[in-house]
Amino acid sequence: MRRRPGIGGLQTAAAARDQYRLLGENVAKLRTDMMKEQLATFKSQLEEFARKHKNDIRKNPAFRAQFHEMCAKVGVDPLASNKGFWAELLGIGDFYYELGVQIIEVCMLTRSLNGGLISLQELCNHLRQRRKKDREAVTEDDCLRAISKLKVLGSGFEVITIGKKKLVRSVPTELNKDHNQILELAQGQGFVTVEEVQRRLTWTSGRVIDALETLLEEGLAMIDNGNKDGKCQYWFPCVSSVYSFAGSDT
């Protein structure tokens, strides 16, 4: 017969478990302390790096993107406050504030043409034209960061992805799945016809017309019914290169 462990044996086993637990806690605390120390060192080095390369960060978009990646790794957001250390050191908060204002202006000036939906690429092209005098290049990454700050203000700005394109929406229009599929289909040549949508998406004519009429009402589409074949073409400025740079001198 197997003998049950006595009270002394149980106490010894419990003490051993406690020792293992304490040892594990001490190791975890040591690792945490080491990580905190390494993080503090890295943040200090990051500040020194920012001081040394201040001009490059403001003027060089590739350098600026790498700097943001470095910040993200240590949980630093240089755009979090216009009055913080990073804003004072780099003026980078002002850079994105000014860019955000220009994004709003471009979206408002082009809204009558595109219904408040503009491709990120076209938005950047407009901004580059405006900022030539400043000699501060702007990338899509910069635009995305500026727009993310605009969202905090509840301004209705949002970046959506349809197919292979990123679009910036500056109006509260809600696009459903049917609208998104039509916009994706239009990316090929900038327009669609009722017949093409029926054929490519295997929809009924009623479903196609309902979706297209909604897009027309929202100002996202323009209709061209002057074609020789008699088929109406629904053009979408937000995905059509034909309308790119229209009014780019604004």
Q: How far, in Å, CA of 54 to CA of 52, rounded? A: 6
Range of the domain at 218: 174-244
pLDDT, tens digit, 9 for 90 and up, residues 200-242 = 999 999 999 999 999 998 889 999 887 777 788 999 988 876 5
User: Looking at the structure, do residues 168 and 182 belong to the same domain, yes or no?
Assistant: no
User: Looking at the structure, do residues 145 and 219 belong to the same domain, yes or no?
Assistant: no
User: Looking at the structure, do residues 163 and 77 belong to the same domain, yes or no?
Assistant: yes
What confidence score (pLDDT) does residue 52 get? 76
Q: Which of 203, 208, 202 has the alpha carbon at shortest distance from 232?
A: 208
CA quadruple 147, 159, 249, 217: dihedral positive or negative? negative
- Of 96 and 81, the one with more pLDDT: 96
| pLDDT band at residue 249 under the 50/70/90 scheme | very low
Average pLDDT over residues 147-173: 81
User: Looking at the structure, do residues 54 and 161 belong to the same domain, yes or no?
Assistant: yes
User: Looking at the structure, do residues 67 and 151 belong to the same domain, yes or no?
Assistant: yes
Q: Which of 88, 82, 96, 218 has the alpha carbon at shortest distance from 146?
A: 96
User: Looking at the structure, do residues 50 and 166 belong to the same domain, yes or no?
Assistant: yes
| pLDDT band at residue 77 under the 50/70/90 scheme | low
Average pLDDT over residues 1-18: 60
Structurally, the chain folds into a number of domains equal to 2
If DSSP codes are grouped into helix, strand and coil, which group holds residue 152? helix
User: Looking at the structure, do residues 203 and 235 belong to the same domain, yes or no?
Assistant: yes
Q: What angle do CA 15, 17, 19 make, to 5 degrees?
A: 70
What confidence score (pLDDT) does residue 246 get? 46
User: Looking at the structure, do residues 52 and 168 belong to the same domain, yes or no?
Assistant: yes
Give a yes or no: residue 205 inside a domain: yes
User: Looking at the structure, do residues 166 and 48 belong to the same domain, yes or no?
Assistant: yes
Give a yes or no: residue 152 inside a domain: yes
Q: Which of 152, 172, 192 is the last residue of a domain?
A: 172
What confidence score (pLDDT) does residue 6 get? 55
pLDDT of 119 > 60? The answer is yes
Q: Is the entire prediction scored with pTM above 0.75? A: no
Helix H or strand E encompassing 230: none
Q: How far, in Å, CA of 96 to CA of 6, rounded? A: 72
Express as a percent the part of the chain with pLDDT over 90.
Answer: 22
What confidence score (pLDDT) does residue 247 get? 46
Q: Can you read off the two tokens belonging to residue 164?
A: 């292979």
A 10 A CB-CB count for 87 gives 19
Most confident of 42-51, 87-96, 166-175, 196-205: 196-205
Q: Which of 172, 195, 212 is the last residue of a domain?
A: 172
pLDDT of 1 > 80? The answer is no
- Of 15 and 90, the one with more pLDDT: 15
Give a yes or no: residue 33 inside a domain: no
Which position has the token pair 């669609």? 192
What CATH number did the domain enclosing 83 receive?
A: 1.10.10.10
